[in-house]
Amino acid sequence: MSFQAYLDNIQTKTGKGPDDFKAMAAEKGFATGDGLTAGTKAGDITAWLKQDFDLGHGHAMAVVALLKGRTS
């Protein structure tokens, strides 16, 4: 599955797109426009996404990659 397919599936499931997740992560202090904030671990983000959005590990990790700056 391509990275974009992961993002498309996440948006279908949650109704939230990449910009929404970036904004929510910034509000929670997990990320800035330049990537993850110092001390933030992928496990912190995946736990949040699994709990609040019922995402599986692979889809949650796609959001982590997005927050780190991956675009494709």
| Residue 37 three-state SS | coil
Mean pLDDT of 12-37: 95
Mean pLDDT of 1-18: 94
Specify the pLDDT at position 55: 97
Q: What is the pLDDT of residues 25-71, one digit of tens each?
A: 999 999 998 899 999 999 999 999 999 999 999 999 999 999 998 87
| Upper half-sphere CA count for residue 19 (Cβ side, 13 Å) | 0
Output the CA torsion 41→19→14→28 (10° steps). 40
- Nearest residue to 46 (alpha-carbon basis) of 70, 20, 65: 65
CA distance 37 to 64: 12
